[in-house]
Amino acid sequence: MDNLVEEFNVYRSKMNDKLLADNNLLVKRIFNLDTNAYQEGALNVKTKELLGLVASTVLRCDDCIKYHLETSYKNGVTKEEMMEAMGIATLVGGTIVIPHLRRAYQFWEALENN
């Protein structure tokens, strides 16, 4: 099951490296913003990761969900907190979010089994 996490991270890393090496300035700057946006500020890192998770979920971006599940997990978000955030995302975004919720739950289990 934990292959799910590694496969995702390996592909993501490999392609990010290629994209950054390509030297398109706009893309590089967007990547750079993305790295900085979730750092401690008026809101703490855990809250920001949950905001990123919910935004990714209602926009139904599986890879973005996986990324924020992993960073949330590493920053001490509990399963119960994650599920409350995902519940709000499912309510706001509707039942079309449910397939992403299934895959998110599976990925969270993979994170716990890692």
Among 9, 74, 98, 112, binds its own copies (CB under 8 A): 98
Pattern 54-73, binding to its own copies, x per CB under 8 A? xxxxxxxxxxx---------
Tokens of 79: 């399963």
**34 is an interface residue for its own copies by CB under 8 A:** yes
Separation between Cα atoms, residue 59 and residue 110, nearest integer Å: 22
**7 is an interface residue for its own copies by CB under 8 A:** no
**36 is an interface residue for its own copies by CB under 8 A:** yes
Q: Virtual CA dihedral for 43, 32, 83, 60, nearest 10 degrees?
A: 130
CA distances from 21 to 17, 24, 101 (A): 6, 8, 34
Q: 3 vs 94, which CB is nearer to its own copies?
A: 94
Among 6, 30, 76, 113, binds its own copies (CB under 8 A): 30
